[in-house]
Amino acid sequence: MEVLLEQLNGLKNHTDEFELNRVKNQMKVQILSNMESGENRLEEMARNYKIFNGLNFHEYCIKIDQVTAENITDAAVKLF
């Protein structure tokens, strides 16, 4: 728990752009791999329709790409 809190608290400092882009790409790959089977794809589409009125993979990518280091820092400051 101590390590987790230390890592979360560290988000208050500047987030490295290279690391942020790496994580963004990793999230996109994770979403794609979760949608490999037809059953998972249908479940994801239904969930997105219910919660977001129809968010698709391309819209996911747009939202992921809109995250900035400043967004992360601001959110971390609000948490702590």
Give the pLDDT confidence score for residue 68 in this predicted structure: 93
Give the pLDDT confidence score for residue 25 in this predicted structure: 95
The Cα 23–Cα 9 span in angstroms is 18
Provide the whole-model pTM. 0.69
To 10 degrees, what angle do helices 57-65 and 17-34 make? Answer: 170
- The domain in which residue 14 lies consists of 2-79
Average model confidence (pLDDT) for the chain? 84
Give the pLDDT confidence score for residue 1 in this predicted structure: 86
Tell me the average pLDDT across 45-74.
84
CATH number of the domain that 33 lies in? 3.30.830.10
Number of domains in the chain: 1
Is the pLDDT confidence value at 20 over 90? yes
The DSSP line for 3-48 is HHHHHHHHTTSPPPHHHHHHHHHHHHHHHHHHT-SHHHHHHHHHHH
Give the pLDDT confidence score for residue 21 in this predicted structure: 95
